[in-house]
Amino acid sequence: MKRVLVATSNAGKIRDFAGAASRFEVEIVPLPNLASFPAVVEDQETFEGNARKKAEAYSRHISGELVIADDSGLEVDALGGAPGVHSARYAADEPHAAKANTDDDANNAKLIREVKRVPPEERNGRFVCWIAVARDGKTLTVFEGKAEGVILEEPRGANGFGYDPLFYFPQIHKTFAELSAEEKAKYSHRGAAFGKFLEWYKSF
């Protein structure tokens, strides 16, 4: 079985990747000793830029190995594309909050406050994911995935993480938090991007 090294300590992302990889003979492995490496500041203006920066930085710590990193988030049209690249620290934009990643509950609470100001028919948005593949500090290729949906003002479901309980996917009449990891991989932005990576990886 091939292994894929993923530069993340986010258990939700690992679960998403594992769900997408379950159809292939691929094992998802968090990058060893990730916590001991210097943290990468995600200060780029795009998801792609942050994914590239993380993949390149962390791949320098494990010579000769392929390392993937992703950056992803939610874009809501009526909010001018917010939270966007600030998805993980959306609530930190509040005047009293520190400029660091904020927990899911705080981010979701802010999103709910914002979308309540928007008419229900205008609450369209999308999850976006970019995956970068790097080796020895150089990006080899990138992959993008998207999922279009509607933002709810009340959470539904106990699975997933991040904004999943508020992201309603009309195609299956469920939020992403109401899906198993394998089901989510069929429809999600991360599943789409990772599926493209796996197709590339098979012939690498």
Domain ranges of the chain: 2-202
152 SS3 class: coil
pTM for the whole structure: 0.92
Burial grade of 41 (CB within 10 A; 0-12, 13-18, 19 or more) = exposed
pLDDT of 98 above 50: no
Q: Can you point out the beta strands (E) in the chain?
A: 2-6, 26-30, 67-76, 124-135, 138-151, 167-169, 174-175
Handedness of CA 178, 183, 187, 191 (dihedral sign): positive
pLDDT in the model for residue 97? 47
pLDDT in tens, 48-90: 999 999 999 999 999 999 999 999 999 999 999 999 999 999 9
Asked whether the CA dihedral 93, 146, 69, 49 is positive or negative, the reply is negative
Q: Mark whether 71 is an active-site residue.
A: yes
pLDDT at 95: 47
Position 2 scores a pLDDT of 85
pLDDT tens digits, residue range 145-200? 999 999 999 999 999 899 999 999 999 999 999 999 889 999 999 999 999 999 99
Tokens of 19: 């769900």
Q: What is the pLDDT of residues 185-203, one digit of tens each?
A: 999 999 999 999 999 998 8
CATH class, domain 2-202, is alpha beta
Q: Tell me, what's the pLDDT at 202?
A: 85
Q: What is the pLDDT of residue 69?
A: 97
Q: Is the pLDDT of residue 100 over 70?
A: no
Count other Cβ atoms within 10 Å, centred on residue 109.
15
The pLDDT of residue 22 is 82
Catalytic residue from among 16, 43, 70, 71: 71
Mean pLDDT estimate for the chain: 93
> With the C-alpha atoms ordered 116, 89, 197, 44, is the resulting torsion angle positive or negative?
positive
pLDDT at 47 (0 to 100): 98
Q: Which residues of 89-103 are buried (b: 16+ CB within 10 A; e: fewer)?
A: bbbbeeeeeeeeebe
99 versus 202: which is more confidently predicted? 202
Cα–Cα dist 163/58, whole Å? 26
Please report, as a single letter, which amino acid is at residue 86: H
pLDDT at 99 over 70: no
- The Cα–Cα gap between 8 and 29 comes to 10
d(CA 152, CA 115): 8
How far from chain centre, in Å, is Cα 108? 15
Alpha helices (H) along the chain: 11-21, 47-59, 104-115, 181-187, 189-202
Q: Which pLDDT does position 75 carry in this prediction?
A: 98
